Structure 1
Amino acid sequence: MTEKITTTAGSIDIEATDGAGVFKAFTVTPSTRPTGAVVVIQEIFGVNDAIRATCQEIAEMGYIAVAPDLFWRQQPGVDLTDKSEAEWKQAFALMNGFDQDKGIEDLKSALATARHLPGCNGRAGTVGFCLGGRLAVMMATRSDADVNISYYGVMLDKLVPEFNAIRHPLLIHIAEQDEFANEAVRTAVLAGVQGKPEITAHVYPAVQHAFARVNGVHYDRRAATIANGRTAEALMAALG
């Protein structure tokens, strides 16, 4: 009989490498030891209920989940939903003001911190959504993460030239009817994946952007279940 995994939620401090300060990360720790760690990369809505729920699910799978506050340099503690026009406007303003290169450096700090958390076996990867899906691909090209998983990442076609730098598994989940990534973007990404065994891409038919966002307006249970199953397999293969 499999032992039930219990979890504990909390927060940790992570120091920025550029001396700008310390930022927070929401964490959920499973009772299993030792285990790998997963850095959960937020959408444009910050570390909100959906991201916290994702961390909980990952911890219940047996992995340490760490969700850093990537907007801390602009506005610490952003926690928005996709339910109102005002929140969308605020989220887009934050995204437009977000320095992605600084964000990658903060994610590298979070990854290094996660590897050394109590109970971690030293292996760590990323799972990102929307903006975080793009950053997960950037972590695949620019960091030593053991695995990276991208859900409906934005502007991924611009990252195709960096695909040759990928050395660890990258799993890309693509929504066929993504309003933020048209057919041309999708075609460019799928072409860029060809001949690169480290990268696997799946297209989910007839679903929109954020089809796996917990309680989101475009949530699709069937597609989310399939994608999350593939994510679970990728995490198990890379993190143990």
Structure 2
Amino acid sequence: MQTDPEFDSLVPAQSFDRRRFLVTSLGAGFAAAVQPVMAQTAISTDVAGLLAGEVKVPVGDGEMVAYRATPAGKAKAPVVLVVSEIFGVHEYIKDVCRRLAKLGYCAIAPELFARQGDPRLTSSIPDILANIVNKTPDAQVLADLDACVAWAAGQGADGKRLAITGFCWGGRITWLYAAHNPQLKAGVAWYGRLVGATSEFMPKYPIDLVGQLQAPVLGLYGGLDTGIPLETVEAMEAALKQGNAAARASHIEVYDNAPHAFHADYRPSYRKPEAEDGWQRMLAWFARNGV
């Protein structure tokens, strides 16, 4: 099974053109590129007591589809943005939202690739990267996440108690968003790439933004991750120690025997002990930082 490299692009937010949204519905099931699913380990969370399903979030150039799960009848639930892997908002990401909602959070996972294409329907990881992920501007992603916060607040959630978590590609976005939104209270990045070669479309990596972090981030990484070498994790740890207050309050936990995507319970990479420990650390991190 291939790992999920985080290839992203960045353009100024004001340069966005109005364009057609190619994804207007999330459908059901798991992404084609990760079939067959490890059904014996894939976690399935029911919707009892929840308000859960697709929503449309107004953004600058139209409406973006997202998955929202929140406790039914609960006002002012804290908001957690859930950022997907390169595979988009498929069943695993939806289930993560439901798990969080069962704990009292309003969790929202936007389809951040909606303008570029539907990675859930593409069976080739190189095609997803080349044709969808690489063409999705980071600045667009950050603006879309801001729109989700505003939408959730408009629906009665507490946008002032705001956290973000993301997986693989979403892990890198988590670090970027922590340097973007001063209202953020906490971030938890699951194995997001930290360093890399920059380009016109990708001028910044998390290590370049340490001095701009607005909220502390918990990084959860695998010691056996071949796509994110340990030396890059160690470089990030060193940079955090020399950063601003939010950076110094951040922490990276490395699971020595875990590969990339160790939380992905529907894939062979899943490692139950590390995934469960990371989940508990995430919840404690949110609570410690007021979310």
Interval of TM-score (by shorter of Structure 1 and Structure 2):
0.7 to 0.9
1:159 — aligned with what? 206
8 Å CA contact 1:134, 1:153 repeated in 2: yes
Aligned to 1:175: 222
Q: Does 1:10 find its partner at 2:49?
A: no
Normalising to structure 1: TM-score of the pair? Answer: 0.87
Q: Which moved more, 1:62-71 or 1:106-115?
A: 106-115
* Count of aligned pairs between the two proteins: 229
1:236 aligns with 2:279: no
In structure 2, relative to structure 1, the CA distance for the partners of 1:80 and 1:130 (3 Å cut) is farther
Letter in 1 for 2:233: R
Kindly report structure 1 stretches of 4+ aligned residues shifted beyond 4 Å.
Answer: none
Q: Secondary structure at the match of 1:115?
A: helix
Distance of aligned partners of 1:230 and 1:224 in 2 relative to their CA distance in 1, 3 Å threshold? same
Q: 2:267 aligns with which of 216, 231, 239?
A: 216
Instruction: Determine the C-alpha separation between the residues in 2 that align with 1:107 and 1:119.
Output: 15
Greater mean alpha carbon deviation, residues 115-124 or residues 208-217: 115-124
User: Which residue does the alignment assign to 1:146?
Assistant: 185
- Give the superposition deviation at 1:137: 0.2
**For the Cα contact (< 8 Å) 1:59–1:65, is it kept in 2?**
yes
Residues 138/121 of structure 1: CA separation in 2 closer, same or farther (3 Å cut)? closer
Deviation of the 1:183 alpha carbon:
2.4
Contact persistence 1:114–1:124 (CA under 8 A): no
Candidates 65, 70, 89, aligned match of 1:24: 65
Matches of 2:217 and 2:121, distance apart in 1: 28
Decide which structure has greater helix share: 1
Matched, 1:79 2:126: no
Identity %: 24
State the alpha-carbon separation in 2 of the partners of residues 215 and 88 from structure 1: 16
Task: Report what 1:186 is aligned to.
Answer: 233
1:102 aligns with 2:143: no
Q: Which has the higher contact order (CA 8 A, sep 6+)?
A: 2
How many Å separate the matches in 1 of 2:212 and 2:165?
19
TM-score (ref. length: structure 2)? 0.73
